[in-house]
Amino acid sequence: MAKDKQPGKQPEKHNQNVPSDQQTDNEAQIQEQLAHYTDIAQQLYSSQSYQQAEEAIAPINEMTEEDQLTFLNALSRERNSDAASVLLAINTLTQQKQVRKEARRALIRLESMNIYSQWEPPQMPSLIESLNMLSPELTGINGIDTFIPTPDDIEDTDEEDFEDFEDEDLDDTFISEFIKEWGNQNYEEAYDLLAVNSPLRSGLDKDAWVALRQQWAEQAKPEGVKVTVGYRYETEEELENAPDTEDESTQELDAFWSLVYQETPLDSSLPELPQASLSYPLTGRHWFWASYTLTQDDEGGEFFIHHLTDKVAESLQFSDDELNKRIDEIADELKTLPVFKLFAALEGTDEDTDESDEDEDIEDEELGDEEADEDEDEDEEDWDEDEDAGTMEEQLEEAFWFSLQATYYAEALIAHHPQELSNYERAFPKAAAIQDDERFAAYAALITKNIPEERNTGLQLQASVWFKMFNAVIDEEEEQNTQLAERTEQVLRESLAVNKNASDYTSLAQFLVARDERLDEAEQLYQQALAVAEDSETRAIIESGFADIAHSRQDPQDALVHLQRAAELDPNQENIWYKLGDTYQELDQTKRAEESFIRSTEVEPENENGFAALASLWTEQGKTKETIKLLEKGLDSNPDSATLRGLMAIQYIDQHQYQKADQLLQEAEELDPDAEIIQLARQVLAAIQMQQQEKNSKSNKRKKR
């Protein structure tokens, strides 16, 4: 269709409940983008990649969500294909769901008038393209969280959920106990868990069996055993070939486990040590998958482990076609689980589901509340009718086990063809879905080793993962993270030696500052990063880094200068307005601190820090009602925040609404019982309750007299 231009109406004036100078700036920004939307469309038409398309709409994404919605409303009145193309790009590429939904709504209106986009979305980026377009804000190198292209939201459910499956639900099985006892060098206990006729005993008595394992352990130095026990996904062919009747005297479960150890010539002498699907030389961790068969003793009582089937060795015998088929079947099976559909609908993780859900939301608005509620009731009935699928927790367990199985199949493909990048691209999302960062790093190490032309990419990915793992334990005791810190620095320096880009300089500098050491070297690294930085977002991150160094040197005035520059370069940078407010507060510039905290809540509503800081400031100023409204707004955007609940409880205590305060503290304690604000509020409330009890007791005594 030809790109016919049709005159559009001028958009209405933007009207926000904000200061007049800020409102004027916002209106000017919206008008500027409206004046240049045809230029943006031309950039989209000429774009050849996902990254280029994102760059074309970057000026729009830099606006606040409210301004973007106003812009979209005005753009939808420009009834031509250029406007439709820009709307489609925003619907496809932006991260904010409400903005995507509004863009979709505007597109539907234009399509109803036979006005269509002339731009087609590009293919999703490959591994290498993704690496080049990642934001360094989260990890300092290339934000690995933004890279992970997982097909579902299993990795976002809550890592502790999966730990619970390991630590509570299945640890009492013989299999889990056996692997843990064996991995922790408690060989006598492990031997006792084997059936008398188990081939894993190799015909040895207990003393000889234990002695051989102890000899192996002296050389291998095993440690860090991790295990998950569950059921595997079985193909239709495997189900057809299964016996018609079950033998109640035997049980079979799969164990997905890993162990850190040094390979030795004695490895092959241990039948209980299966073949590893993957190993990571930097840490010595090896990953295993085996199916264990348990049999009852002669009296039909306790179960003992009889033998194992090495599922890794079995997988390596499959053809590439068979492995790919099994991976695809597991993906299809996961999508049939109601819990998968629920998370996809809530988080928009499945592209097809997300788009259809947005269309349904738009249709609901057109139908009205009553009919929309009926649709929701039908959805709930669909969930209730699927009782065979089990509870949500059971389905999460099953999804986790199946995802683990798919990971091992992906690793078999890598073992077949270690030089093919596509196999790693298939494996990365699976390691991410099961939240195994070390495994992710192992894949990156294999890329570095096996694909010379992608060595730089492999080093960068390793550095990114290690920096993420280091940040996750940075607040732990020194002895717990010293080894991790040493390995993180090693990988970061290896990557920097090869790549020498702004991200690598910045990551190493951030690492040194986080360790609160070698600040002069960190400052030099930031200067080198600034010299090669190519965009304002990266320069803003570097300026924030200089501010961190200034804070470490107890120089808030210098920190303020760098933070102001960072805010000018990238006003949407993570935590920038909160950091500014905190620094203003340190310099006793309360009014500017308040303005910055307010800006933080507007720019980053899903970041609790701005809300918490502003609430604390207003509490000191006695603005109780304003603080309660602020915290309610903060909890709407951060429903799982223990900190905001604790601050809200303090407000209710001040209002003598002790029951509400107690309820909030109970909720907060379930989320984070160790948070200081929670403990403080609980102490205050307990003291008040004790005073009331004493007062009531004295009152009762007086009445008796």
Transcribe 424-479 into DSSP letters. HHHHHHHHHHTT-HHHHHHHHHHHHHH-GGGHHHHHHHHHHHHHHHHHHTTTS-HH
Could you tell me if 164 and 112 lie in one domain?
A: no
Could you tell me if 175 and 113 lie in one domain?
A: no
Looking up residue 188, the CATH number of its domain turns out to be 3.10.450.100
> Which tens digit of pLDDT belongs to each residue from 420-464?
998 998 888 888 878 888 999 899 999 999 998 888 888 888 888
Instruction: For residue 108, tell me if it sits in a domain.
Output: yes
Helical (H) or strand (E) element with 291 = strand 285-296
Could you tell me if 74 and 164 lie in one domain?
A: no
Helix (H) and strand (E) counts for the chain? 35, 5
Could you tell me if 176 and 267 lie in one domain?
A: yes
Residue 287, beta-bridge partner list: 258, 278
Q: Report the range of poorest mean pLDDT among 146-150, 205-209, 524-528.
A: 146-150
110 has pLDDT over 80 = yes
387 has pLDDT over 70 = no
Instruction: For residue 52, tell me if it sits in a domain.
Output: yes
Instruction: For residue 516, tell me if it sits in a domain.
Output: no
> Which tens digit of pLDDT belongs to each residue from 349-380?
444 444 444 454 554 454 454 444 444 444 44
Last residue of a domain, one of 291, 317, 343: 317
Instruction: For residue 540, tell me if it sits in a domain.
Output: no
Question: What is the rounded (10 degree) CA torsion for 12, 16, 22, 24?
Answer: 20
Could you tell me if 303 and 204 lie in one domain?
A: yes
212 has pLDDT over 90 = yes
Domain interval for residue 232: 157-317
Could you tell me if 207 and 251 lie in one domain?
A: yes
Q: Which residue has the higher pLDDT, 79 or 473?
A: 79
> Which tens digit of pLDDT belongs to each residue from 134-171?
333 323 333 333 333 333 333 333 333 333 333 333 33
50 has pLDDT over 60 = yes
Name the domain count of the chain.
Answer: 2
For residue 705, the model assigns a pLDDT of: 57
Could you tell me if 205 and 67 lie in one domain?
A: no
Instruction: For residue 358, tell me if it sits in a domain.
Output: no
Could you tell me if 105 and 200 lie in one domain?
A: no
Instruction: For residue 259, tell me if it sits in a domain.
Output: yes
Instruction: For residue 590, tell me if it sits in a domain.
Output: no
Instruction: For residue 43, tell me if it sits in a domain.
Output: yes
Q: What is the DSSP letter of 194?
A: B
For residue 504, the model assigns a pLDDT of: 85
Output the pTM of the full model.
0.60
> Which tens digit of pLDDT belongs to each residue from 617-636?
998 888 888 989 999 999 99
Could you tell me if 169 and 241 lie in one domain?
A: yes
311 has pLDDT over 70 = yes
Could you tell me if 55 and 170 lie in one domain?
A: no
- Determine the average pLDDT of the residues in 527-545: 90
To the nearest whole percent, how much of the chain has pLDDT over 70?
Answer: 74
To the nearest whole percent, how much of the chain has pLDDT over 90?
Answer: 31
Report the C-alpha gap between 53 and 47 in whole angstroms. 6
For residue 479, the model assigns a pLDDT of: 47
Give the number of other Cβ atoms within 10 Å of residue 690's Cβ.
Answer: 10
Could you tell me if 293 and 196 lie in one domain?
A: yes
404 has pLDDT over 50 = yes
Last residue of a domain, one of 269, 286, 317: 317
Q: Alpha helices of 306-454 — where are they, by DSSP H?
A: 311-316, 320-336, 338-347, 351-367, 369-385, 392-416, 421-433, 437-450
508 has pLDDT over 60 = yes
Could you tell me if 166 and 298 lie in one domain?
A: yes
Last residue of a domain, one of 74, 108, 123: 123
